[in-house]
Structure 1
């Protein structure tokens, strides 16, 4: 019974690793097909016209959201694996040491996440510094290209109307 559970755990771990690989194999098969066709063309005489291969689909750009989603899925899968292993060990179906591989995998994953967060922070800071430097350069360039303003000197007038003066007169008198 314990060997069956151990085999089941091995299958579960490999499924976690292999299923994403199987889902991404379309792009890899086109690369392998190209390599095989290239080798077969080199082996044959180059007198024949090479068979045109279809262009592979362009890879989608990896966005920050997809990276975070991938990290979240891995963390969830490894945590579920550790919890499952702990339950199986607690029921006494397998020896205690079977919880060690999933725990080590989860700890390594969390350590890599910690490094990745530091790298993401450094990348964001570098981008912010680059934007600030560009804005400063643009501002300095704008200041240099503008013409200085003309300063007009205001001369005080001697005949200033004072409404509280003793010799007040109406407008038009």
Structure 2
């Protein structure tokens, strides 16, 4: 009975890791295209047959190369952290429920609890790093504003020169009511 519970606990811990990976896994076509577009420096250390014979050809057009991956946005990172924390919390709660029903020994809660504590420690470090980065960005913005203000103060103001209007010339208008004959 206890070995069954142990196997169930192992499956539950791996489910916390694997389910998010399955939810965001690539389709076969995407994974295959990534393999095709792999850069030479990302390839294995062993040379391929084409590289050995020197007959390597460029078969892909520039239009088919994938765009470089962007870093996830702040909201995506926070959502991922929240999902991970919730999943680990549910895993700890489930292990406590299994222990309280007598289906498993007390030590079954140790792995999920260690995972949750480790995750919370990493979150604390991540929050400190985010705060440091935000302070540095705010400091840079303040320095840029101060530099712009200093440049604006040191710049000389331009002297406004009043332009003299040329004498008003009469323009011939063919549609005017008081048309004159030229030369008369």
Q: Same fold (TM over 0.5)?
A: yes
Once the two structures are superposed, the pairs formed by residues 75-94 of structure 1 within 5 Å of their partners are 75-94=85-104
Tell me if 1:49 matches 2:57: yes
| 1:67 matches 2:77 | yes
Determine if the alignment matches structure 1 residue 137 to structure 2 residue 138: no
- Normalized per residue, the structure richer in helix is 1
Is the alpha carbon distance of 1:7 and 1:30 closer, same or farther for their aligned partners in structure 2, counting shifts above 3 Å?
farther
Which of 82, 90, 98 aligns to 2:108? It is: 98
Deviates more, 1:70-79 or 1:12-21: 12-21
Q: How much is the aligned-residue C-alpha RMSD, in angstroms?
A: 2.8
Query: Would you say the 8 A contact 1:41–1:50 is kept in 2?
Result: no
Q: Which residue of 1 aligns with 2:5?
A: 5
CA deviation vs aligned residue, 1:19-75 (integer Å, no higher than 9, x gap): 333424456665555337x735324x2225344385235424311111110110010
* 1:96-148 superposed Cα distances (whole Å, 9 cap, x missing partner): 10100100110111111111111110100000000000000000001111439
Report which stretch shifted further, 22-31 or 123-132. 22-31
Cα distance in structure 1, aligned partners of 2:132 and 2:90:
31
In the alignment, structure 2 segments of 5+ residues that lack a partner are: 160-184
5+ residue gaps in structure 1? 150-173
Structure having greater relative contact order (Cα 8 Å, sep ≥ 6): 2
- SS at the partner of 1:147? coil
Moved more, 16-25 or 129-138: 16-25
TM-score (norm 1): 0.73
